[in-house]
């Protein structure tokens, strides 16, 4: 929750979130400060509080707070939204509280309940932050970044039927495309893990055509999203004693390709929507055209029907204004995603690297951030490098414990290889002999 408090500042500097443990209540540690802060708070979030003394004290001292939200805490603690108490049902987990619907009209309240519940249950820092933002947006003040949560109504259907009738029919008559739509409809719109797994499981030419028409070309859902500007991270500036240039930065991306069949393998990442996929290979290379540069991730997907399949994407890469920064773009199943990547650090011996990205799929209304820790063999860097890795992650406002480890077992048969005529390193040369790695895939 301390980390969540810091990450809330990345959304709006005006948010102030203070974190206390119930030791403040049981041992009078900072009790005066806690009482003073509660007196003018807009929201109290209670997490995993079950001590009797703490419960009694909170019941007495939270009466003036209009919004009290309890997660995984004693049933004796009450939830309150907009100044109205909510009866507990079964468990004191916000998503289980059906009576929230009485506070607001129509389906809006039910949507808020489901959205918050789904966010909390995903148990990652981005979703916990999102959970708090939904409550702020609904009961305290508007949160501009949540504008895509608003329902669009009949205008969506009208737009789709007017502009994309053929694509809709083709999709509905195709089993894979139909399953994809059914799967996506069952996902929370903000659950990037669920949404992307549906797409990766059932992708087809008909799904691509449907998305291209409905979302990308006609924006029937009236969605929009921008690449997040925070956290603002600075790239590596010196590598092997030399000032980082665009050419050297591209070489760092190219990595081990040439000595191995891939540039890097992903060890772990911070964004669960992408890092859930096993056996991730990165291919960076220079194209035939002068100045062109490409990125092709190759990864495995365990479909919702239990099959293991390989997927591959192709990103166009352009240099940013500062060496070590890049703009990526990709057409992924009919939707354009644009990303801003930064090389945070790379070990001198190429034993590991850390790359940060911020991106948005504007037509899908999704924006995201993340980072990938990479190595030549998909294994975590040696212990002697751990502090440097942690420092690199801190630059991205990421804690080591936030990383999701990529499953790099059973990775045979990856569809690797790059187009004929592509080129690799420009300035940095290295051989596989410099460091022994496993080339098993």
Q: Please report, to the nearest 10 degrees, the dihedral formed by the alpha carbons of residues 371, 375, 377, 383 taken in order.
A: -110
Handedness of CA 203, 208, 209, 214 (dihedral sign): positive
Q: 201 near 303, Cβ under 8 Å?
A: yes
Q: Is 146 left (phi over 0), alpha (psi -120 to 50) or beta?
A: alpha
Q: How far apart are CA 78 and CA 85, in angstroms?
A: 7
Q: Is 392 helix (H, G, I), strand (E, B) or coil?
A: helix
Residue 431 has what pLDDT? Answer: 43
Kindly state the tokens that stand for 17.
């979130």
Kindly state the tokens that stand for 265.
């393998």
Residue 25 has what pLDDT? Answer: 87
Characterize the bridge pairing of strands 43-47 and 67-71: parallel
Q: How far apart are CA 200 and CA 335, in angstroms?
A: 13
Task: Give the distance between the most distant pair of CA atoms in the chain.
Answer: 73
Residue 109 has what pLDDT? Answer: 54
Q: 327 near 293, Cβ under 8 Å?
A: no
Instruction: Please state, in angstroms and as integers, the Cα–Cα distance from residue 63 to each residue in 60, 69, 81, following that order.
Output: 6, 13, 12
Q: How far apart are CA 313 and CA 296, in angstroms?
A: 5
Q: Would you call the peptide bond into 223 cis, given omega within 30 degrees of 0 as the criterion?
A: no
| Domains within the chain, CATH numbers bracketed | 2-149 (no CATH), 154-217 (no CATH), 238-434 (2.40.128.20)
Cα 425 to its chain centre, rounded Å, is 31
Residue 111 has what pLDDT? Answer: 66
Residue 102 has what pLDDT? Answer: 43
Q: Please, which residues have CB within 8 angstroms of residue 106's CB and are 6 or more apart in sequence?
A: none
Residue 99 has what pLDDT? Answer: 39
Successive 10-residue mean pLDDT values, the chain, 441 residues: 93 94 85 91 94 94 92 89 67 43 47 76 87 91 82 77 96 95 84 85 95 96 92 96 96 97 97 87 96 96 89 97 98 95 97 97 91 97 95 96 93 95 84 43 43
Characterize the bridge pairing of strands 281-286 and 238-239: unpaired
Angle between the N-to-C axes of helices 192-202 and 175-186, in degrees from 0 to 180, rounded to the nearest 10: 170
Residue 288 has what pLDDT? Answer: 93
Length of the chain measured in residues: 441
Residue 434 has what pLDDT? Answer: 47
Kindly state the tokens that stand for 215.
């979302």
Characterize the bridge pairing of strands 308-312 and 315-319: unpaired
Computed over its alpha carbons, how large is the radius of gyration of the chain?
24
pTM: 0.88
Q: Please provide residue 407's backbone torsions phi and psi, each rounded to the nearest 5 degrees.
A: -75, 110
């Amino acid at each position: 929750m301390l980390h969540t408090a810091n990450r809330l500042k990345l959304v709006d500097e005006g948010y102030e979130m203070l974190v206390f443990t119930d030791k403040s209540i049981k041992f009078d540690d900072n009790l005066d400060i806690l009482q003073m802060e509660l007196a003018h708070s807009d929201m109290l979030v209670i997490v995993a509080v079950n001590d009797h003394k703490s419960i009694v004290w909170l019941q007495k001292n939270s009466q003036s707070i209009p919004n009290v939200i309890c997660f995984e805490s004693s049933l004796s603690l009450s939830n309150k939204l907009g100044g109205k108490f909510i009866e507990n049902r079964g468990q004191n987990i916000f998503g289980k509280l059906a009576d929230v619907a009485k506070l607001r009209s129509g389906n809006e309240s039910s949507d808020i309940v489901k959205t918050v519940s789904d966010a909390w249950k995903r148990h990652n820092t981005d979703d916990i932050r999102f959970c708090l933002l939904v409550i702020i947006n609904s009961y305290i003040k508007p949160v501009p970044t949540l504008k895509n949560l608003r329902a669009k109504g009949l205008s969506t259907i009208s737009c789709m039927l007017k502009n994309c009738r053929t694509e809709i029919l083709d999709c509905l008559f195709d089993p894979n495309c139909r399953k994809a739509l059914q799967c996506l409809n069952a996902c929370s719109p903000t659950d990037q893990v669920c949404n992307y797994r549906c797409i990766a499981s059932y992708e087809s030419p008909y799904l691509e055509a449907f998305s291209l028409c409905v979302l990308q070309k006609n924006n029937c859902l009236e969605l929009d999203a921008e690449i997040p500007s925070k956290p603002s991270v600075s790239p590596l500036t010196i590598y092997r004693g030399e000032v980082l240039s665009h050419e050297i930065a591209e070489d760092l991306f190219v990595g081990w390709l040439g000595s191995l069949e891939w540039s890097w393998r992903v060890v772990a990442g911070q964004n669960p929507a992408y890092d859930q996929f096993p056996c991730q290979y990165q291919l960076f290379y220079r194209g035939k055209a002068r100045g062109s540069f490409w990125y092709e991730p190759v990864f495995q997907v365990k479909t919702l029907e239990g099959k293991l399949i390989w997927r591959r994407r192709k990103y166009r890469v352009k240099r940013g204004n500062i060496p070590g920064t890049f703009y990526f773009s990709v057409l992924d199943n009919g939707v354009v995603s644009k990303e801003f990547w930064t090389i945070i650090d790379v070990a001198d011996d190429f034993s590991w690297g850390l790359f940060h990205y911020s991106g948005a799929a504007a037509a899908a209304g999704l924006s995201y951030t993340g980072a990938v820790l990479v190595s030549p063999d998909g294994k975590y860097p040696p212990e002697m490098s751990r502090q440097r890795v942690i420092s690199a992650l801190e630059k991205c406002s990421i804690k080591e414990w936030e990383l999701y480890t990529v499953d790099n077992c059973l990775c045979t048969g990856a569809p690797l290889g790059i187009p004929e005529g592509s080129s690799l390193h420009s300035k940095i040369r290295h051989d596989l002999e410099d460091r022994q790695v496993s080339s098993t895939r």
